[in-house]
């Protein structure tokens, strides 16, 4: 496995792989890797013969008072983990490599807009976050020039917006969704889980319990958006230590909140703060179209 820090080294390595007829798979990360990240690498390896993993803590997607400075930077241990799964190339650039223009001046202006789909949920709580995320993702796509890029399902709104970006500006790039990897307790793996104390770790498990309760409610005959949300909210109400930012049910195809009579594939989203640590999770659910008899009973 090769580790490079410059754009020139990256371009040379990717060109050599392409010269050998290899497809390029790409996994963008901010480091502090865990088994969830490694699962993305394995999926990229199934899709391509040469896998690039980037490790870059992007300042543009952190707002005032967020954890940019304390975000873990663990390149050495990250590289060891990536060796175990056979990644081909680690690209660990400086901000200068990512954001410098042709004259060498660092330009960290935001160049992408998440639009309406990026204004709610995470976008409302972290203004500008998705614009900064999309700006660095587009820059990485331009540098790596992958055939396929893998993103985790845990950051559902991010994945939705990246897919929009790719459809618009990188139509030949395949975006692959990787399933959420969970701890045995059900807690979604996250680089931020390391900040949780033992008691906070217990509290954090309420997020996945809430989602499971919502999913179970969706399978009940006559289920509706409100019954799914009510089941999930009941779980969170029993854990006041978890400070809920939002719990919402959105249409997977638009990321807009669903109407009460919605039927189809939806995402149940949750975000909460446990102590000083903010966690996200989500669950795919299906609400069946009510039968004629049920519709009649509701009238």
Catalytic residue among 37, 129, 201, 265: 37
Residues 272 and 209: their CA atoms lie apart, in Å, by 13
pLDDT at residue number 291: 52
User: Do 64 and 150 lie in a common domain?
Assistant: yes
For residue 110, tell me if it sits in a domain.
Answer: yes
| Number of structural domains found in the chain | 2
Counting DSSP H helices and E strands in the chain, the numbers are: 10, 9
Does this model's pTM top 0.85? My answer is yes
Note if 37 is an active site residue: yes
Q: Establish if 185 belongs to a structural domain.
A: no
Residues 22 and 70 in one domain: yes
In a domain, 183, yes or no: no
**Do 171 and 293 sit in the same domain of this protein?**
no
Extended strands (E) in 190-263: 242-251
Contacts of 44 (CB under 8 A, 6+ apart): 25, 26, 27, 51, 148, 149, 150, 176
State the 10-residue block means of pLDDT for the chain, 299 residues long.
Answer: 97 98 98 95 98 95 79 92 98 94 84 95 95 97 98 97 98 97 96 94 98 97 95 98 97 95 96 96 91 42
Which residue, 199, 177, 181, 203, is CA-closest to 191? Answer: 181
- Structural tokens at position 117: 């789909």
Answer yes or no: is 125 within a domain. yes
In this structure, the answer to whether residues 62 and 157 fall within a common structural domain is yes
Dist CA 207 CA 212 (whole Å):
9
């Amino acid at each position: 496995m090769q580790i490079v820090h410059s754009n020139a080294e990256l371009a040379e390595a990717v060109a050599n792989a392409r010269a050998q007829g290899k497809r390029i798979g790409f996994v963008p990360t901010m480091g502090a890797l865990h088994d969830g990240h490694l699962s993305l690498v394995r999926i990229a390896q199934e899709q391509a013969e040469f896998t690039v993993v980037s490790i870059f803590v992007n300042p543009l997607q952190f707002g005032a008072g967020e954890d940019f400075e304390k975000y873990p930077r663990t390149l050495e241990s990250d590289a060891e983990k990536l060796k175990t799964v056979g990644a081909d190339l680690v690209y660990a650039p400086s901000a200068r490599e990512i954001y410098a223009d042709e004259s060498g001046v660092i330009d960290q202006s935001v160049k992408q807009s998440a639009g309406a789909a990026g204004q709610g949920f995470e976008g409302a709580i972290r203004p500008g976050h998705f614009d900064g995320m999309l700006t660095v993702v587009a820059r990485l796509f331009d540098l790596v020039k992958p055939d396929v890029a893998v993103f985790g399902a845990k950051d559902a709104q991010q994945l939705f917006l990246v897919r929009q970006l790719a459809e618009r500006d990188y139509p030949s790039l395949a975006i692959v969704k990787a399933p959420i990897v969970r701890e045995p307790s059900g807690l979604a793996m996250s680089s931020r889980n390391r900040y949780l104390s033992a008691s906070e770790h217990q509290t954090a498990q309420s997020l996945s319990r809430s989602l499971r309760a919502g999913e179970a409610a969706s399978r009940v005959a006559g289920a509706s958006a409100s019954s799914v949300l009510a089941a999930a909210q009941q779980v969170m109400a029993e854990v006041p230590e978890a400070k809920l930012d939002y719990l919402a049910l959105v249409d997977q195809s638009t990321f807009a909140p669903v109407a009460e009579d919605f039927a189809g594939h939806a995402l149940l989203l949750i975000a909460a703060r446990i102590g000083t640590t903010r966690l996200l999770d989500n669950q795919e659910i299906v609400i069946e179209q009510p039968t004629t008899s049920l519709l009649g009973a509701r009238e």
